[in-house]
Structure 1
Amino acid sequence: MRSLFLLICSCLCTISISAQVQQPNPQYLLKTTFNPVQYKNFYLLTLFQQDETVKQAIKNDPELSNLFKSRTQKIADALKTCGNDIACFAAAFKFTEDEISSIGIRLSHIYKQGAPLNALLKNDVVPSGCYALYGNLKPEEMLAKAWAQDAKAVNHTIEVYVEGAKANYPKIDSIGFNVKDKSYPELVNTNALLSLTAQNNLFFEPSMQFALIALEINERNDAGDYEPMMSTVNKASLGAIKKTNFSAYRYSLILVPGEGPEAPDTELSAGGMLRCRLAAEQYKNGMAPFIMVSGGRVHPYKTKYSEAYEMKKYLVNILRIPESVIIMEPHARHTTTNLRNAARIMFRYGMPMDKIALTVTVKSQSRYIGEVMPQRCIKELGYEPYRLGKRLSDTALEFFPNVMSLQIDFDEPMDP
């Protein structure tokens, strides 16, 4: 399913149509919520909640209003009849293909009727870059595709973190419960009950809340780690970026992909230390003004240690690199998203996207980034998040960040 979805997205990007491709805006600030896991996974749905004119247009639409009523009734019925059947509960919350299609058509109809959705698309959806794969479509088509993406994200989260379906990387990302345990249905039942709160009055809200609580009780809120980073762990480096003359440097930054330890009590692996030393050497040689450390809480399963945070500590405390030089990217779970997430931060923080950057790591991973990963990114993400430059050595490789990296990945809820 994931490969088919990404193949369709990739094809959409290459179709030649008369509409001009709409570009993300580096000055745009994402509309946030108290729960960063929500807006990072379901940005369009978050916008629907936050824009009062759009919210009223959706609530007042007869078809979407009827859908909300039928969905809440379906959930109420599930509470009465599902018993210990987890799949029964999940079916009450997941969107069917027919529903996704009909809702997309209805949203396109509302878009054509007047200003609320027009303004939302122009002022938020397009400049955010979160749905960049659809930037060459007509506005109402882009809206429908963005909705379908968020709906598939809700469904995927429920399938993996409620039903126990196989995650893309099950060794590190799988459900935290035994779905056959006799106590598990009660947790699912309680989650379902909570979705019927009066605050959930838009057609998608019960399902979105059910998915978000599933992530929470699975202890899988990794997407929100250290957020809001601009005012916390990256505050010093963000301030320094605004004062930096990037033309004085060969590279915009030095990216260090992490390596998670396998022992649960190990904070930073030997490989992580060595990668930091490689980066520090390049920094001290004046190659770039910043070092970005990239890696989340990945290895071993449900580790409490963040690769990026531990590498930052090592750079500051052991290698004496100033904190303002170090940019943390604490969410990547795979090598593909080390470079994708780096491109995202570079764009959001106002770094030059047309300037070449440098990644340093051990020989095997560096070769992997240069020779294997572009094809893997196309397969898993639907695009290449970077363009390769020259190889400087076995451990150092140039790359250009790609703004397409802002695109949300619908089936990686811990690092969307």
Structure 2
Amino acid sequence: MKVRLLVLLFMLSLGSFAQSNKPNAAYKLVSGGDWVKAKNYYLLTLLQHDKAAQSLLKSDAELSKLSQARLNAVQASLKECKDALCLPAQLKLSDADISLVSQRLKALYKPGNALDVLVKSHLIPSGMYIMHQTQSPANLLVKAWEQDANYVNYTISVYAEGKKPNYPQIDSISFDVKKRAYYILMYDCSTEVSEGLKADALFYEPSLHAALTYLEINERRNAADYEPMATTANKTAVDRVKLIKWASYPYSHILVPGAGPEELITPLSGEGMLRCRAAARQYFAGKAPFVVVSGGAVHPFKTKFNEAAEMKKYMVEVLHLPENAVIIEPHARHTTTNIRNDARLVFRYGMPFEKPGLIVTDKYQNDFIVNMEKRCLNELKYVPYKLGKRLSDTALEFYPVITSLQIDADEPMDP
């Protein structure tokens, strides 16, 4: 009897571990009010808010030495750099810096200490590094650090050094890096970093502060648009989720990908209107209790209009859908991320994740989605959906995939 009890307790402990090793829909992201930072560089954000983890890192002699060297490099660049691109280059983390921190994190990580708690209480349940969650907790921590550090450098390279982003026509730098005035701007940014940091700043903070500064001066803080959506723009719909009798509907929701206009003065394209009308017909036919309209401020370059916000306005004011039935997803910049971001909302808002959704758009975009797996693998390294039946030219079933929670930090406006 005693042996059976021990076996039962062991099996229960395994189940508890397995459960804790998965993303948790009830987990609330720690943002500290800066959603650009949190959504792009979540580990670095957590370290800034976790005093116990900070203390552990600051007490390490090698990391303290690196922290001082990074601060010295910023201050020295203001005296020594004579061209614009020299200044942001000095704010990037070197491969040697990143490798040293990886080694120290692995050495400092101990079961039960502050880093262990951070991994198990935040990194794992957040799902933000889900593609590394088969790793040991210590290795997951290292992978998260290396991802954040490399993508801080990526942000600096695009939005300060002027290197091409993945989609240059919509996401490029806003300045001519060859003009004399650009040196003055970069000098002022480095001054902001130097003066904006505390004397005991951690080794990564100059680089992180720089990356966020460059995004801001380029007007590229799109990742923060409408956040926190669950308690603001989407609150009425989120509150209604828990009241839905899901068995009454064949689909959890209807997803409508946006279509950007060609002119800066046009808020919603004709194609966007037609997609909304097709989705409204499905909604009023009782196919799903919610419509998710998806699309960021994308087309044309530097537009001030947000596709999702404009589609919701059209659906509520013109097509007369209830306000609490329309959810905005205002960050996606591509068809791949229309579906990925939608999967994130389904999970975090507590909709049944195993229930299919229905993509409603024009024939040609649905044709594209049916053949989009290769592009997803190239750009995201995974496919954020599993397709179901093609019901018509405009309607396509799909199932969300949990890997969609992974940060995509080489797209800092929609990570």
**Fold-level similarity (TM above 0.5):** yes
Q: What's the secondary structure of 1:405's corresponding residue?
A: helix
Q: Which amino acid aligns with 1:316?
A: V
Between the two proteins, the alignment pairs up a number of residues equal to 396
Q: How does 1:48-197 map to 2 (within 5 A)?
A: 48-86=47-85, 88-112=86-110, 115-196=113-194, 197=196
SS in 2 for 1:293: strand
CA contact (8 A) 1:20 1:136 kept: no
Partners of 1:35 and 1:143 lie apart in 2 by: 22
Contact in 2 for aligned 1:260/1:307 (Cα 8 Å): yes
1:309-324 correspondence runs (5 A): 309-324=309-324
- Mark the runs of 5 or more structure 1 residues left unpaired by the alignment: 1-18
Residue 262 (structure 2) aligns with:
262
Instruction: Could you tell me which runs of 5 or more consecutive residues in structure 2 were left unpaired when the two chains were aligned.
Output: 1-16
Instruction: Tell me the amino acid that sits aligned with residue 162 of structure 1.
Output: A
Aligned partners of 2:84 and 2:184 also within 8 Å: no
**Aligned counterparts of 2:33 and 2:283: Cα–Cα separation in 1:** 36
Counterparts in 2 of 1:305 and 1:198: CA distance versus 1, 3 Å = closer
Shift in Å, 1:251: 0.1
Q: Partner of 2:230: helix, strand, or coil?
A: helix
Distance 2:343 2:171 in 1: 23
Alignment RMSD: 1.3
Aligned partner letter, 2:55? Q
Range with bigger deviation, 215-224 or 100-109: 100-109
1:243, distance to aligned residue in structure 2 (A):
1.2
Matches within 5 A, 1:5-404: 22-86=21-85, 88-112=86-110, 115-196=113-194, 197-199=196-198, 201-371=201-371, 373-404=372-403
Dislocated runs of 4+, deviation >6 Å = none
Q: Give the TM-score, by structure 1 length.
A: 0.93
Q: What SS is found at the alignment partner of 1:388?
A: strand
| 1:3 paired residue number | none
Distance 1:290 1:187 in 2: 46
Q: Which amino acid aligns with 1:266?
A: T
Q: Percent identity?
A: 51
Structure 2 partner of 1:7: none
Query: 1:125 is paired with a residue of what secondary structure?
Result: helix
Contact 2:380–2:408 (CA under 8 A) maintained in structure 1: yes
Q: Tell me by how many angstroms 1:20 deviates.
A: 6.7
Deviates more, 1:250-259 or 1:96-105: 96-105
How far apart are 1:221 and its partner, in Å? Answer: 0.5
Normalising by structure 2, what TM-score?
0.93
Q: 1:49-72, CA deviations, whole angstroms, 9 ceiling, x for partnerless residues?
A: 111100111111111111110011
Amino acid at match of 2:87: F
Q: Which has the higher contact order (CA 8 A, sep 6+)?
A: 1
Write the letter of the residue equivalent to 2:156.
Answer: I
8 Å Cα contact 1:339/1:385 also seen in 2 = yes
**Cα separation, partners in 2 of 1:79 and 1:113, compared to 1, 3 Å:** farther
Give the drift of 1:153. 1.2
My pick for the range that moved more, 23-32 or 292-301, is 23-32
Equivalent residues of 2:35, 2:224 under 8 A apart: yes
**C-alpha distance in 2 between matches for 1:369 and 1:23:** 28
Moved more, 281-290 or 98-107: 98-107
When residues 113 and 73 of structure 1 are mapped into structure 2, their CA distance, relative to the original with a 3 A threshold, is farther
CA distance in 2, matches of 1:176, 1:36: 22
